[in-house]
Structure 1
Amino acid sequence: MGAFLDKPKMEKHNAQGQGNGLRYGLSSMQGWRVEMEDAHTAVIGLPNGLDGWSFFAVYDGHAGSQVAKYCCEHLLDHITSNQDFKGPDGPPSVESVKSGIRTGFLQIDEHMRVISEKKHGADRSGSTAVGVMISPQHTYFINCGDSRGLLCRNRKVHFFTQDHKPSNPLEKERIQNAGGSVMIQRVNGSLAVSRALGDFDYKCVHGKGPTEQLVSPEPEVYEIERSEEDDQFIILACDGIWDVMGNEELCDFVRSRLEVTDDLEKVCNEIVDTCLYKGSRDNMSVILICFPNAPKVSPEAVKREAELDKYLESRVEEIIKKQGEGVPDLVHVMRTLATESIPNLPPGGELASKRSVIEAVYNRLNPYRNDDTSGLSRNCCNYGHSRL
C-alpha cells in the first residue's frame, strides 16, 4: 500500500566500516515511494565490555518513519542494558543473549507506546526489524516482520530468517485468537505483516499480553555457531529487496560482485539499483557484512566483467544504428537485449544489473535527447523481470 512518485528517487545513503574482523557496507534508496521510511543501525563494539561484539539491523517502516527512526537509535540500548541480557557474571550466555534480545524488543515497544500516548494524537506508524548480533563465537539472527537476513556459508545460503506474514498458520492462529481476521493476506485486510514494532492500533485487545495481540512485537532469535573457515557474508535487507530477488539469487549476485570489487558500498549500491530495475516499488535498504573468508577479487572475474561491458557497449551501438531513421528509446534497447543470450551476465542480477552500463552508452550516443531516457515509468520499469 502507499502512494508512489512519478519517477523514483535514486539518490542513495551509504556508509561502510570495519572492526572485529568484519567489514560492512550499506545502501538505502527511497525509490518510488513518496517518503523514505527505512532506517538502519551498524555498530562495531558493544557497551558493557563487549568490545568484540557487533550489531547490525535494518528497519522497514510503514505508515510513517517515526518507529523505524526511534528503533535505529534506541533498540540496541534496550537490548544490552536489560538484566536478562547481562546475565550474572562475565559475557552473556547464549540463552541470556536470546532472552535479552526478546526482552529488549518488548521493552522498546512498550516504551514507544507510552511516548505515543503522551503526545496529542497517537503515532500510527510501525516497523519491521531484522538484525544480527555477532559475538566472537556466535551469530544471532533477529527477526520481527518481513524483512529478511541470510548467511552465506561455503558459497551457499546456509540460513535465512522466516518472514512473519499473517497467512502463516501460527501467526494466523494468534490473530484469530485476538479477535482479528486475515483477509487478502493482511491483518484485518490492512497490515501486511503479523509482527512489528509500533502499530499500536493492532495492540489494544484487552486481556491479551503483548505477544498475543493482532500484531506481536516479539522477535524470533536464532543462534548459529560461527565457522571461521566457511562463513562468508551476511545480507540484511527490507522487503523492497526480497520482493524481486530470491535468497539464492541475491547470494549468487553478491558473491559475483565481491569477485570484481572489494568496495562494499559499491556492491550494496548495485544491489539496490538492480532491484529497482527488476521492478521493486518500495523503499530499499541493504547491509552487507563480510567475514574474513568472504570472496576475494579475482583477476579472471574482473577480466570477464570488462569483456561483458565492452560487448554490451558494442551491442547498444549496433541496435541504435540498425534502427536507421530515429533513435530507439532506451526501453526498446533493453527489451531487445533481454531477448538475446548474453554470456557471463552476473548471476541473480542478469541484464538488470548492467542497466547503468547500457544507459551510459545510450546517453553518450544520444547526448542531445532531452526527454526521459531512464526507461523508468509507472507502466514500464522492469522489462518483464518483476515478480510483484
Structure 2
Amino acid sequence: MVAGAEFSPPLTMLDSPYGHEENGSSPGCKDRESVDKKKEMKVGKPPRHLPHVHRASTVRFAGSTDFDFEFGSLDLTSPQEGQSGFLPVFRSGSCSEIGPKKYMEDEHICVDNLVEYLGGPKDFPAPGAFYGVFDGHGDSRSLDRSSGTTALVALIFGRTMLIANAGDCRAVLGKRGRAIELSRDHKPNCKGEKLRIEKLGGFVYDGYLNGQLSVSRALGDWHLKGTKGCLSPLSSEPDLHETLLTEEAEFLVIGCDGLWDVMSSQCAVTMVRKELMIHNDPERCSRALVQEALKRNTCDNLTVVVVCFSSDPPPRIEIPTSRVRRSISLEGLHLLKGALDSNV
C-alpha cells in the first residue's frame, strides 16, 4: 500500500433502488450546509502489524486520535427506518493468509462499534460500523512510485450501508441465501473500463493496463498516473453504492481478489450461510472461506471479512413442495435471483 495515496474528489454513484444524492453526501444529513461544516478527518493506512486472524472488534485505526467527528451534525434515522422495527447488530470476524506468494501485501480493518470508537454520545440514535480490505502491489518491502493498493470499504450507520470500491476487491451481501454483489471488479478488459482507458491514451494488453497492472483503478502507482492533476488511464476514483439493510440481509462478505479468483459470489454466500447455521461464528466462516480458496489453488494472498447483521444464526429456508419437478438446484436458483436483484 502507498502511504498518502488519495481518492479523487468526485465519486461515481452506482444505481441503487433506495436513491442517493448526486454529490455523494449521506442521505441522512439534515442539510448540505451542515455537511460542509464537518471537519476533515485524517485516516492513516491500516497498520501492517495486525495479526492475520483476529476478532475484528479489537482492531484500531492508525492515527485514530486525529479524528474530529461532529456527531451532532448527523441525523441518521430516516422516517423509513423509524417505521421499521429492524436495526442491525454488527459482529464480524476476519482471516488473512499469505498463500503461495512470497510476501503478504493484503491489509484489512474492522470496527464493529464505530460510534464508541470515535467517541460519539452513548445516546446516538443509530449504531455504526466500518470495515475495509486493501490489496497492495508493487514492492512490498519499500514504498516507491510503483507501489499501490486497491481498496474496498463499507461504512454503516443504522440501516444505511455505503460501499466504496477502487480495484478488484469485492463486497457481497447474503440475502436469505442469495448473493447480491454490491461492487464491481475494476478490470482493464471490462468494456466500460477499457473504453475509459483508451480514451485517456492508455491501452490494454493481455488483460493488463498499459501491459503492467491487472486493475484499472487503484490508489498510488504514481509511475502510471504521471504528475498530480493530470488525467490518467489508471483512476483512483471509487464507485459508491448505497444499500438499505432489511431483515432479509443476513451478512456481508468482503474480500480481496485472492478469494474471488477461485470462488463465485454465490458459492461464498452459500458456504457462509451453512457455517453460520452450524456455529454462528463469523470468524470461523472467514477462516473456512480462506481454507477453501487455498484448496482451490489460489495464486494470491487471501483476506476475508464476514460481517453479520444479527446475533442469531440465519433461519432455515423452507422449500415448498411442488408436483412439478425442478430442473435447477437451489444454489442455481439463488444465483439467478441474485443476478436479477443485483444493481451493478
Per-residue deviation, 1:226:
1.5
Aligned pairs (5 A) from 1:295-306: 295-296=313-314
- AA at the equivalent of 1:45: L
Aligned to 2:131: 56
Cα deviation, 1:212-243, whole Å, max 9, x if unaligned, reads: 3121111101001121x211000000010001
Aligned pairs (5 A) from 1:62-101: 62-65=137-140
Q: Which of 77, 90, 98 is the matching residue for 1:22?
A: 90
Aligned pairs (5 A) from 1:149-298: 149-204=171-226, 208=230, 212-227=231-246, 229-292=247-310, 295-296=313-314
- AA at the equivalent of 2:219: L
Per-residue deviation, 1:18:
5.5
- Which stretch shows the higher mean deviation, 218-227 or 39-48? 39-48
Distance 1:207 1:147, change over 3 A: closer
TM-score by length of 2: 0.62
Aligned to 1:38: 106
Alignment check: 8 A CA contact 2:140 2:147 kept? yes
Higher alpha-carbon Rg: 1
Partner Cα distance (1:224, 1:66) in 2: 38
Per-residue deviation, 1:49:
3.5
Distance 1:261 1:297, change over 3 A: farther
CA RMSD of aligned residues (A): 2.6
* Secondary structure of the structure 1 residue equivalent to 2:216: coil
Cα deviation, 1:329-358, whole Å, max 9, x if unaligned, reads: xxxxxxxxxxxxxxxxxx89xxxxxxxxxx
Cα deviation, 1:124-154, whole Å, max 9, x if unaligned, reads: 2111111211110301111110010111112
Partner Cα distance (2:298, 2:257) in 1: 9
* Secondary structure of the structure 2 residue equivalent to 1:217: coil
Partner Cα distance (1:206, 1:192) in 2: 22
Cα deviation, 1:260-307, whole Å, max 9, x if unaligned, reads: 112322221111111001110110000000011763598xxxxxxxxx
Aligned length: 232
Per-residue deviation, 1:16:
1.7
Higher relative contact order (CA 8 A, sep 6+): 2
Q: Which of 125, 144, 152 is the matching residue for 2:166?
A: 144
Bigger helix fraction: 1
Aligned to 2:147: 125
List alignment gaps of at least 5 residues for structure 1: 1-11, 68-115, 117-121, 299-346, 349-388
Alignment check: 8 A CA contact 1:144 1:219 kept? yes
Distance 1:207 1:23, change over 3 A: closer
Partner Cα distance (1:215, 1:179) in 2: 11
List alignment gaps of at least 5 residues for structure 2: 1-50, 59-87, 317-330, 333-344
Aligned to 2:52: 13
